[in-house]
Amino acid sequence: MRTFTKTYDHPLLQQRSLAHQAWLTGVNPDVRTPRVVEQRPGEIVYEHLDGRHAGPADLVALAGLLGRQHTAAYFRELVHARLDASFTSGGTITLDGFIDGRRERLRHLLTSESVPEPALTLEAVEGWLQKAAGMPAAFYKDANPRNFLVNGAIVAVIDFDSLTLAPFGYDLAKLVVSTTMTSGPLVQETVQEALDTYNGHPRSRGLPGCTRREFAAWCEFHHALTAPYLGTNGYRFGWHTARPGWTTDVLRQPDEELAP
Ligand X SMILES: Nc1ncnc2c1ncn2[C@@H]1O[C@H](COP(=O)(O)OP(=O)(O)OP(=O)(O)O)[C@@H](O)[C@H]1O
Query: What does DSSP assign to residue 232?
Result: S
Subset of residues 136 to 165 that bind Mg ion, contact rule: CB under 5 A: 147, 159
Contact call for residue 226 and Mg ion (CB under 5 A): no
Stretch of 45-53, 73-81, 170-178, 181-189 lying at the interface with ligand X (CB under 6 A): 45-53
Q: Site mask, ligand X, residues 132-151, x = CB under 6 A?
A: --------------xx----
| Residue 142, burial from CB neighbour count under 10 angstroms (0-12, 13-18, 19+) | middle
Using an 8 Å Cβ cutoff, are 169 and 203 in contact? no
Q: Site mask, ligand X, residues 224-253, x = CB under 6 A?
A: ---------x--------------------
In degrees to the nearest 10, what's the CA dihedral of 80, 86, 88, 92? 160
Beta bridge partners of 140: 164
- Among positions 34, 56, 167, 169, the unique one binding ligand X when judged by CB under 6 A: 34
**CA neighbor of 5 nearest in space, from 43, 37, 49:** 43
- Among positions 22, 60, 61, 158, the unique one binding ligand X when judged by CB under 6 A: 158
Contact call for residue 32 and ligand X (CB under 6 A): no
Smaller CB distance to ligand X: residue 43 or 249? Answer: 43
Q: Is 181 helix (H, G, I), strand (E, B) or coil?
A: helix
Stretch of 43-51, 80-88, 93-101, 196-204 lying at the interface with ligand X (CB under 6 A): 43-51
- Phi (first) and psi of residue 32, to 5 degrees: -75, 125
Using an 8 Å Cβ cutoff, are 120 and 220 in contact? yes
Residues that bind ligand X (CB under 6 A): 4, 6, 34, 46, 48-49, 53, 146-147, 158-159, 233
Residues that bind Mg ion (CB under 5 A): 147, 159
